Amino acid sequence: MSGTVTFIRLTPSSRQLNLVQSDRNNVPLKHGEYEIKPKHHLADSDAAEPRVDTEGIIEKTVTKLPFTNEHGDLKDQETNSKKFQNESQDKIKKKRGRPRLEREISKADIRTVKKAQPVSPTEAEPKSAFEAVNKIRANLDSEEAKLAKAQIRLVDSQGFRLIKTEIEPPLNLMNHEQILQSLRRRVIVDTREVLVINKPYGMSMHSGGNISSSSKFALTSYLQELATFFQAEKLYTVHRLDKEVTGVLCLAKNRHMANVIETLFKAHQVKKEYLAVTKGLVKERQGTIELPIAVGHIGGKERMVIVPRPPPGSKKSIPKFSQIFEARTEYEIISWHNSAAYWKLRPLTGYKHQLRVHLGFGLRCPIIGDHKYSHIKKLVPQKLPGDILAKLHVRQQKVREIPLHLHSRSLVVPGILAGGRNLVARVNPPKHFQKTVEQLGLS
């Protein structure tokens, strides 16, 4: 004899059903029906605060099973029904949740995954020597920028700009080895007999004054190490740039080439070009300054002066100088705005401080940051007009900290390379210089 047995599985959202009464042996009182009692009491869905429906379904499964009056067969049916319910619950859990891991992820697994990540193109090994050099230069550039940003203050106590703290590389924060690496990176031209570098701001050509021969601010303290690195017999300085002047600087790798270049400089055969930012400008946008200069003294300190030329027949006495230099400078005003001007300068002669004294004392257009040649009769910090102070966001009391805005842009030495070719070197101004040009509306 067979019959149909209905299994009803309850979920938290189902209404509690009326249970079929059974005897002590769990045999249903009604013939042909069998009911499994729920293990937990479920709240009535009509209660004031019904339980939240977490399952959302009521599953009803109808299965035909053989039916007998023997209790053993009923126990088998009960076992089969429980097994069926467990399998159904497992299927629902698999659909609803993500698969369970056989073991937990360990830290070792995470480290292994990180090691297996592909290397980005920027971290890849350089394919050529050129790429390797560029990578080194980029790293050094970023290091110098970090050092510059590490300056104690970028603005003063009132929030005004301190241009001097923006200078890169910041030599005052660097040690000897760091400056040496920076100088290696700043090489513009390297031939068998000539080395040209981009001289940084604040580096003196030689010892003197407060700078000793072993000082980190003296170029001479690095020449031997640079000579070894660039496979030179020795490095010789063949011309000079002031401590505050940046840009192209030529060095000879042997005594013979040093003599050749020095001879060309004395014969005024070397072409040099400078860039300068000044306060004030002249009506003639280009021309030649021909004013003799000489060594003078003020306040016990030495500086160059303009030698006056009284008109013919004048009875004015001329100061006596031990030596007078007939200095000549070509100029061109590139741009101007309000009280500021951007100049291109070509010295036709090469005397000490020629450009600074010609602009400051000759044309009364001193270079911004040049406190030595701003006042004829005294040595005091430069005084800037209000529009320049406002655009640079600098206080007059802090003008003395503005660096000199004079840059050696290019150099042409004729016929010294193989085959009689000219040596040509060119470099852009430093960042603080370019920022000033932009802020003053001169770019």
CA dihedral 96, 101, 104, 105 (to 10 degrees): -100
In the three-class reduction of DSSP (H, G, I as helix; E, B as strand; rest coil), residue 304 is classed as strand
Residue 218 falls in which region: left (phi positive, over 0), alpha (psi -120 to 50) or beta: beta
Q: What is the mean pLDDT of residues 119-135?
A: 55
Across 70-74, 196-200, 341-345, 403-407, least confident range? 70-74
Specify the length of the chain in residues. Answer: 443
Evaluate whether 44 touches 106 at the Cβ level (below 8 Å): no
Evaluate whether 370 touches 376 at the Cβ level (below 8 Å): no
Angstrom distance (rounded) from CA 58 to CA 56: 7
Q: What is the pLDDT of residue 37?
A: 47
User: pLDDT digits over 25-36, tens only?
Assistant: 665 555 444 444
Evaluate whether 171 touches 203 at the Cβ level (below 8 Å): yes
Across 305-314, 334-343, 419-428, least confident range? 305-314
Indicate if the pLDDT at residue 140 is higher than 60.
no
Across 75-84, 97-106, 369-378, least confident range? 97-106
Helix locations, 106-216, DSSP H: 107-115, 129-149, 176-185
Q: What is the pLDDT of residue 119?
A: 42
Of 429, 294, 411, nearest in space to 351 by CA: 294
Indicate if the pLDDT at residue 328 is higher than 80.
yes
Q: What is the pLDDT of residue 114?
A: 41
Amino acid type, 443: S
Evaluate whether 368 touches 350 at the Cβ level (below 8 Å): no
Indicate if the pLDDT at residue 120 is higher than 60.
no
Task: Determine what percent of the chain is predicted with pLDDT higher than 90.
Answer: 53
| Residue 160 Cα distances to 59, 168, 261, 392, 397, angstroms | 77, 19, 45, 9, 11
Q: What is the pLDDT of residue 234?
A: 95
Q: Pairing state of beta strands 286-298 and 324-337? A: antiparallel
User: pLDDT digits over 286-297, tens only?
Assistant: 999 999 999 999
Evaluate whether 271 touches 416 at the Cβ level (below 8 Å): no
Q: What is the mean pLDDT of residues 42-53?
A: 43
Angstrom distance (rounded) from CA 359 to CA 354: 9
Of 332, 242, 329, nearest in space to 290 by CA: 329
Tokens of 351: 């005397």
Indicate if the pLDDT at residue 172 is higher than 60.
yes
Angstrom distance (rounded) from CA 410 to CA 153: 33
Taking the domains of the chain in order of start, what are their residue ranges? 2-90, 129-309+321-439
Q: What is the pLDDT of residue 373?
A: 96
Of 305, 340, 347, nearest in space to 322 by CA: 305
Tokens of 300: 């016990």
Evaluate whether 54 touches 13 at the Cβ level (below 8 Å): yes
Across 7-16, 167-176, 243-252, 420-429, least confident range? 7-16
Q: What is the pLDDT of residue 198?
A: 98
Residue 331 exposed, middle or buried by CB count within 10 Å (0-12, 13-18, 19+): buried
C-beta neighbour count of 146 within 10 angstroms: 11
User: pLDDT digits over 182-214, tens only?
Assistant: 999 999 999 999 999 999 999 999 766 666 656
Q: Pairing state of beta strands 59-66 and 324-337? A: unpaired
User: pLDDT digits over 237-278, tens only?
Assistant: 999 999 999 999 999 999 999 999 999 999 999 999 999 999
Query: Which position has the higher pLDDT, 402 or 316?
Result: 402
Across 37-46, 299-308, 370-379, least confident range? 37-46
Helix H or strand E segment including 82: helix 71-96
Q: Phi and psi at residue 249, in whole multiples of 5°?
A: -135, 125
Indicate if the pLDDT at residue 53 is higher than 60.
no
> Is CATH 3.30.2350.10 the right assignment for the domain spanning 129-309+321-439?
yes
Q: What is the pLDDT of residue 29?
A: 54
Query: Which position has the higher pLDDT, 383 or 148?
Result: 383
